[in-house]
Structure 1
Amino acid sequence: MSKVQKITPFFWFNDNAEQAMEFYLSVFENSKKLNVNYYGAGGPGPEGSVMVAAFELEGQQFLALNGGPRFQFTEAISFAVNCDTQGEIDELWEKLSAGGEPGQCGWLKDQFGLSWQIVPSILPELMSDPDPAVPGRVMQELMQMAKLDIARLQQAAAGESL
């Protein structure tokens, strides 16, 4: 018997929860569909339409509900994806921002309006350097970027001209 995840992000979609799940499954290699439940005759949604879709991305379980147009996503909630290589940043940025909206400092909105942060795994190390000038230079460089560039951030940390 598998243990139930203690905290599960639960997304509210108008009527495209299954489409969103399929999109996220296509973006992340380590992903899988877990379960899809459908509205019955007595449900608030059309009978036979998707009510809740459960899926897993990189070991994290998510639920997506077709709840109608009442609620929309905001930037107040986002998902940070730590990337070890520039190739991973580039790939996720391209896939997640397709049909969406690129933002600043590694943030983007996907085609469903959900906010993501695509960040290099090395960023916390760069930002916690004991020399206060290093995080300052890194932050100054980061603020000029949409998609983050590991090499540029490392050059800024080292105090090298860009």
Structure 2
Amino acid sequence: MDITTPQKITTFLMFEGTAEEAMTFYISLFDDAEVVNITRYGADGPGKEGSVQHATFSLAGQHYMCIDSPAQHEFTFTPSISLFVQCENEAELDRLYAALAEQGTELMPLGTYGFSTKFGWVNDRFGVSWQLNLPA
């Protein structure tokens, strides 16, 4: 299992059975995105056979890692840590916000809050928090 990335610090997302679904969703949102590598649990476990033991994916040149934890936890993602996206235009911001908010939770609806041209904050359906910004 190769768990190296070209960057020193990499965001690591732990899911409980939805890592591949989340990763596939995220790479569908960005033009410059791909699954870099994926290793799956086999029949001998400890995770569910076929689930993600470890994966690396790239969004807009930034690498992320994810796993399906074989252990259930009493915690999940929190908006205290979020992925902040500088959008190139309003159409991109609106598209990303709509996709991420679907079956998710809107924390700050799209609007102008005085610190950017347009901004929105949402937890997606997997619980990952995203801030979407259109700079001034």
Fold conserved between structures, TM > 0.5: yes
1:54 corresponding residue in structure 2: 56
| 1:29-108 equivalence runs, <5 A | 29-67=31-69, 68-70=71-73, 71-104=75-108, 106-108=120-122
CA drift of 1:44 comes to 1.9
Deviation at 1:4, TM superposition (A): 2.2
Return the TM-score normalized by structure 1: 0.69
- Is 1:13–1:69's contact at 8 Å kept on the other side of the alignment? no
* Number of equivalences: 121
Structure 1 spans left out of the alignment, 5+ residues: 123-162
Q: Give, in angstroms, the shift of residue 3 of structure 1.
A: 7.0
Query: Unmatched 5+ residue regions in structure 2?
Result: 109-118
Asked if the contact 2:5/2:63 (under 8 Å) is kept, the reply is no
Cα 1:51/1:82, change in 2 over 3 Å: same
CA displacement at 1:42 relative to structure 2: 4.5
Tell me the secondary structure at the aligned position of residue 26 of structure 1. Answer: helix
* 1:109 positional shift: 0.5
8 Å CA contact 2:18–2:68 kept in 1: the answer is: yes
Which one has a larger percent helix, Structure 1 or Structure 2? 1
Structure number with larger C-alpha Rg? 1
1:115-140, Cα deviation, whole Å (9 max, x unpaired): 00011122xxxxxxxxxxxxxxxxxx
Q: Distance in 2 between matches of 1:25 and 1:44?
A: 27
- Cα shift at 1:69: 2.9
Whose relative contact order is higher, 1 or 2, with alpha carbons under 8 Å and at least 6 apart? 2
